[in-house]
Amino acid sequence: MTPNKILYCSDFSDNCRRAGRIALSYATTFGADLLVVNVINIRFLQHPALIGLPVYGEAVDSVEKRAHEELQEIGERFKRQMPSVQTFSRKGIPGEEIVKLAEEQSVDLVIMGTHGRTGLSHLLLGSTAEYVVRMANCPVLTVKC
């Protein structure tokens, strides 16, 4: 199977830039369209301890602005190497939003980093990569970050 559309999922972490380089390499090699998505995790934005703070609205705006800027920067960097790059910003539960976008855009391959959390951190934070691997209707390549 040669992918025509590849979805790279970015959380903007330095650790997971490797997954981005691999996604760009695959897209270039196969002549595929490259889609880049970042999902702002509403679980953190809607935490009860944060909602009541006077600066809550400003904090949410700041997170959204930073995500937009980072996503634009990634898109521009990738477009220097290949013209067919689209960026998507979503808000929600990351795994669910990634799977939805992959279906909406008829993606052939999802490429994403995994932090390799174990123990309590995995239990509390879950694994977006694990969810996407189980729920996506296309192959998923995970890159250990």
In this predicted model, which residue has the larger pLDDT, 115 or 139?
139
Residue 85: strand pairing partners: 34
pLDDT tens for 68-83 read 999 999 999 999 999 8
Mean pLDDT, residues 24-41 taken together: 96
The answer, yes or no, to whether residue 7 has pLDDT greater than 50, is yes
Model pLDDT, residue 124: 46
- Please report, rounded to a whole number, the percentage of residues in the chain having pLDDT higher than 70: 82
Q: CA dihedral defined by 64, 43, 5, 20, rounded to 10 degrees?
A: 70
CB 39 within 8 A of CB 100: no
Domain boundaries, the chain: 5-144
Predicted confidence band of residue 125 (pLDDT cuts 50, 70, 90) = very low
Q: Which fold has domain 5-144?
A: Rossmann fold (3.40.50)
Q: Alpha helix locations (H) across 6-141?
A: 17-30, 42-45, 48-51, 56-79, 94-104, 119-125, 128-135
Strands 109-114 and 85-92: unpaired
Mean pLDDT value across residues 97-122 = 85
Radius of gyration of the chain (CA): 16
